[in-house]
Structure 1
């Protein structure tokens, strides 16, 4: 089996920085990592790239040749990659024997919640290379400081989870900066655990811009709660403990944690059970470290 991560998220969520930091962390703990850049507009890579889509197609060329804007150009590039998936398979196959993959995708969210090309070529790769992938969706934690933006991020996360049909981990990235975004309406666990969203309604009503969308927003919150699928973990990519906790979660999601052991069902179940201190590390410890008491309202 071959394991890896599909790194996705809106622009500015820190995907490329994540791939750089995660590849360094995984290398330090003994994994051979291959970072695959599938963003045809990302020409300033901070990491060593094992496979680069720009060898196949470049966004700049697509835009000039077909008179497309950036969004249309990115969709064209993903469709082109789907049609030429043999190229990517040939690049990945020699690495699949002993490497862990990090797929760095573009930040255009349409590619993951309503466009089919990305899903289709990932499905082909999973079948042809026997891949076990986890989708890691990064959401900038500053969105928590605005109720409307937070609800939008919930809807984006849910839509992506349903569309991609992969093991999925949602991450509030740049958590080390959360204290600089001003007061949060609730404690951090409200946002990570996606608790009763009706409490957001009061804060949404304070914004005159959203007054005519109150009913719509309320219905969207109900949809998220009815599915009950969305929650978040937190990440400071510069903190080894934070990255290590996330790696444990991803390894359970794609099965990597079980790949190197020969154990009974009882032993497997012991490994699968979450650690008692996980919630503390995921939320309480983060709040203590990065958020001041006066920056939250009871």
Structure 2
């Protein structure tokens, strides 16, 4: 029988572990089983203790100390080491039944989702028939506050599309921490950010603020090392426009909204995950007890 799993991904600080904890709590309240796998070798604090933790195999701190690598290089080293010791995963996951939702809490380093081929290899190992045979979907989180900064929003959306194309598994994109922007943006205005398109650049708050202040930067005389100058220059605008056009052309990225403080919001995201992995379709129909058959007759 197939197993079912979700890989929770996204940049650092977007609330991946918080979402995993909310998802586990909701599953428990719904009398469903969850198996929590932490694959972030630098994670330290958990609301729910992982059932399987990569740090029992290798940690970034040990790699940095023994091999002399930095945090990002150490994380890549940890994943390469994991790929050489995949029995660490298979021994723990092999005995799980289809009743479990296996939740993989992934690290936030963007290299893993852009150009390092480690994650596609891991996905193939987890999902290949005849072995673990896990029906996987990816849940890519982006912080909802990014919509205030158009550059961050489009950069995050581009990384989401990169992960979608790289992993080649059913994929949902999520704007997390919706509770943080309730007082900053009207629901009507927020709907525009569900699907990225170039029209969002026309009313960039940062650009409008500079125009109201009468700021006019001459690129010929401005200091190229000044961050504010770079972020407000014509080249940066052209870059954002190019990224927006790319996203709009492929039309692959759209978002669901998540507020981890709202149980209905978590339940809605879980329903999308179940739909992606076809969880309910794989469940065996339950037979009615004899007395219920008699009543039905």
TM-score, scaled relative to structure 2: 0.82
Partner SS state of residue 129, structure 1: coil
Q: How far is the alpha carbon of 1:205 from its aligned partner?
A: 4.4
The structure carrying a bigger helix percent of its residues is 1
Q: What is the match of residue 172 of structure 1?
A: 175
List runs of 5+ in structure 1 lacking aligned partners. 263-298
Alpha-carbon offset, residue 202 of structure 1: 4.5
1:107-186 correspondence to structure 2 within 5 Å:
107-127=108-128, 128-180=131-183, 182-183=184-185
What is the CA–CA distance in structure 1 between the aligned matches of 2:88 and 2:170, rounded to whole Å? 25
What residue number does 1:86 align with? Answer: 87
From 253, 260, 281, the counterpart of 2:276: 253
Task: Show the counterpart of 1:279.
Answer: none
- Structure possessing the higher radius of gyration over alpha carbons: 2
1:49 partner SS: coil
Candidates 243, 253, 265, aligned match of 2:266: 243
| Cα distance in 1 for residues equivalent to 2:34 and 2:281 | 19
Closer, same or farther: CA 97–247 of 1 in aligned 2, 3 Å: closer
2:58–2:78 Cα contact (<8 Å) kept: yes
What are the equivalent positions in structure 2 for 1:1-298 lying under 5 Å apart? 1-96=2-97, 98-127=99-128, 128-180=131-183, 182-183=184-185, 187-194=189-196, 196-203=197-204, 205-206=207-208, 209-211=231-233, 212-260=235-283
Over aligned residue pairs, what C-alpha RMSD do you find?
1.9
**1:199, CA displacement in angstroms?**
3.8
CA contact (8 A) 2:35 2:51 kept: yes
Change (3 A) 1:50 1:174: same
Count of matched residue positions in the alignment of Structure 1 and Structure 2: 260
Residue 183 (structure 1) shift: 4.9
Q: Is the CA contact 1:172–1:235 (under 8 Å) kept in the aligned structure 2?
A: yes
Q: Which runs of 4+ in 1 moved over 3 A?
A: 182-186, 204-208
